[in-house]
């Protein structure tokens, strides 16, 4: 696809400064854009402009700097750059020659569903219009998958799972394994059967090799619009709200309850039976072992309000020096006192 800057600027509802007839052939990053490509600029990477060979830039409307090439001023360069990437690149999805696969006769497939090679779909499954089930995936009994979903290669969706519309699940994810529940009977651990399921609402994305366990009796639920990264562990009976962001290698213990728009940064962990209020931010590698009220921002090996954690952390850094100074002062005082006697 080719288009000129006038067309792009109009598409983005931006203000074009410079020659609108310049032809753009694609999008590029500020580090690697080639001639003919358009890149986007934020306040953070302004200093990289001079080494960049892009033929045009998308810049914040507040920018006052002058540029050697044409620019389009917009409100949110990142969001508009996303639109451009989509314009220039068809989304890549798995397809290939469909050969051997195993679909139970009881399965209901919507309009234009794509099922790729070596997929297994078991009894009483229903799959909505335009959904793609990529190669090597497994869809267990009685699963419902909505419209416009993209199940990447090698995903495992176990029995009774319910998945809404526009959901993306990446390779290696396992949805609906048994939760981790045992009861010691005096001689051995007795397994607690897991007869609940997993419910994933619309617009959710789930990362590669992430695991979401089924509820013991009820459901584990992932709220509308929540996005989850790779290698995340979600325990049984967890309730996650809407539009949350859960970054890679995080973990949420059984029966915990995460409010809407919560952010769990990379490697954070929430133990069992915790409630985290709406709009909380849990910073990277933070361990949450107590309930958090709405709008909390916490960090630390043991989660504390972020400001307090920074103070304690700074005090710990100075600790060897602080102790030394206190002892010196004390010795000084003792000496002068002794001298005064």
DSSP structure class, residue 292? B
- Judging by DSSP bridges, how do beta strands 3-4 and 23-24 pair with one another? antiparallel
Query: Least distance to a second copy from the beta carbon of 9, Å?
Result: 20
DSSP string, 201-228: -TT-EE-TT-EEEPPSSSEEEE-TT-EE
| Residues paired with 68 in a beta bridge | none
Dihedral sign (CA 12, 17, 22, 24): negative
279 binds a second copy (CB under 8 A): no
Q: With beta carbons less than 8 A apart as the criterion, state whether 130 and 115 touch.
A: no
Nearer to a second copy, 17 or 211 (CB): 211
Q: How far apart are CA 95 and CA 213, in angstroms?
A: 29
Residue 144: closest CA among 131, 166, 130, 128: 128
Q: With beta carbons less than 8 A apart as the criterion, state whether 140 and 121 touch.
A: no
Residue 225: closest CA among 251, 205, 197, 199: 205
256 binds a second copy (CB under 8 A): no
Query: Least distance to a second copy from the beta carbon of 38, Å?
Result: 11
Query: Least distance to a second copy from the beta carbon of 138, Å?
Result: 4
Nearer to a second copy, 3 or 227 (CB): 227
Catalytic, 236? Answer yes
Nearer to a second copy, 112 or 189 (CB): 189
Stretch 132-191 residues interacting with a second copy (CB under 8 A): 135-136, 138, 140-141, 152-154, 156, 158-160, 168, 170-172, 174, 177-178, 180, 182-183, 185, 188-191
2 binds a second copy (CB under 8 A): no
- What the block records as the tokens of 183 is 């009861």
Stretch 46-85 residues interacting with a second copy (CB under 8 A): 76, 78-79, 82, 85
How far is CA 246 from each of CA 13, 157, 255, 322, rounded to the nearest angstrom? 32, 20, 17, 39
339 binds a second copy (CB under 8 A): no
* Residue of 96, 290, 291, 307 interacting with a second copy (CB under 8 A): 96
Q: Is 7 helix (H, G, I), strand (E, B) or coil?
A: helix
* Residue of 10, 19, 35, 104 interacting with a second copy (CB under 8 A): 104
251 binds a second copy (CB under 8 A): yes
Q: How far apart are CA 96 and CA 135, in angstroms?
A: 9
* Residue of 53, 108, 295, 334 interacting with a second copy (CB under 8 A): 334
* Residue of 116, 167, 259, 276 interacting with a second copy (CB under 8 A): 116
233 binds a second copy (CB under 8 A): yes
13 binds a second copy (CB under 8 A): no
Q: Is 50 helix (H, G, I), strand (E, B) or coil?
A: helix
Considering the candidates 152, 170, 236, 309, report the single residue annotated as catalytic: 236
How many amino acids of this chain bind a second copy (CB under 8 A)? 115
* Residue of 2, 15, 23, 319 interacting with a second copy (CB under 8 A): 319
Stretch 288-317 residues interacting with a second copy (CB under 8 A): 289, 301-302, 304, 311-313, 315-317
* Residue of 10, 19, 34, 86 interacting with a second copy (CB under 8 A): 86
Q: How far apart are CA 308 and CA 314, in angstroms?
A: 10
Catalytic residues: 236
């Amino acid at each position: 696809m080719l288009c000129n800057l006038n067309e792009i600027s109009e598409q983005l509802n931006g203000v074009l400064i410079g020659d609108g007839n310049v032809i753009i052939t694609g999008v590029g990053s500020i580090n690697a854009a080639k001639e003919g490509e358009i890149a986007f600029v934020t306040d953070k990477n302004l200093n990289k402009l001079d080494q960049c060979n892009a033929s045009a830039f998308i810049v914040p409307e507040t920018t006052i700097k002058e540029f050697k090439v044409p620019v389009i001023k917009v409100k949110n360069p990142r969001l508009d750059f996303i639109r451009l990437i989509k314009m220039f690149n068809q989304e890549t999805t798995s397809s290939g020659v469909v050969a051997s696969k195993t679909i139970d006769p009881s399965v209901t497939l919507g309009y234009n569903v794509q099922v790729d090679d070596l997929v297994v779909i078991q009894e009483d499954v229903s799959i909505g219009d335009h959904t793609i089930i990529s190669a090597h995936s497994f869809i267990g009994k009685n699963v419902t998958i909505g419209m416009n979903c993209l199940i990447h290669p090698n995903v495992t969706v176990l029995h009774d799972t319910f998945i809404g519309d526009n959901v993306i699940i990446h390779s290696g994810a396992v949805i609906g394994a048994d939760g981790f529940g045992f009861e010691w009977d005096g001689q051995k651990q007795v397994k607690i059967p897991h007869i609940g399921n997993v419910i994933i609402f619309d617009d959710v994305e789930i990362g590669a090799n992430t695991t979401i366990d089924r509820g013991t009796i009820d459901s584990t639920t992932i709220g509308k619009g929540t996005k989850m990264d790779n290698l995340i562990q979600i325990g049984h009976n967890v309730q996650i709200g809407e539009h949350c962001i859960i970054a890679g290698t995080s973990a949420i213990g059984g029966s915990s309850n995460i409010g809407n728009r919560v952010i769990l940064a990379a490697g954070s962990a929430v133990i069992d039976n915790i409630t985290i209020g709406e709009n909380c931010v849990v910073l990277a590698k933070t361990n949450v072992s107590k309930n958090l009220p709405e709008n909390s921002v916490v960090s630390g090996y043991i989660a504390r309000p972020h400001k307090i954690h920074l103070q304690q952390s700074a005090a710990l850094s100075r600790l060897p020096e602080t102790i030394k100074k206190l002892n010196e002062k004390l010795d000084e005082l003792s000496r002068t006192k002794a001298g005064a006697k």
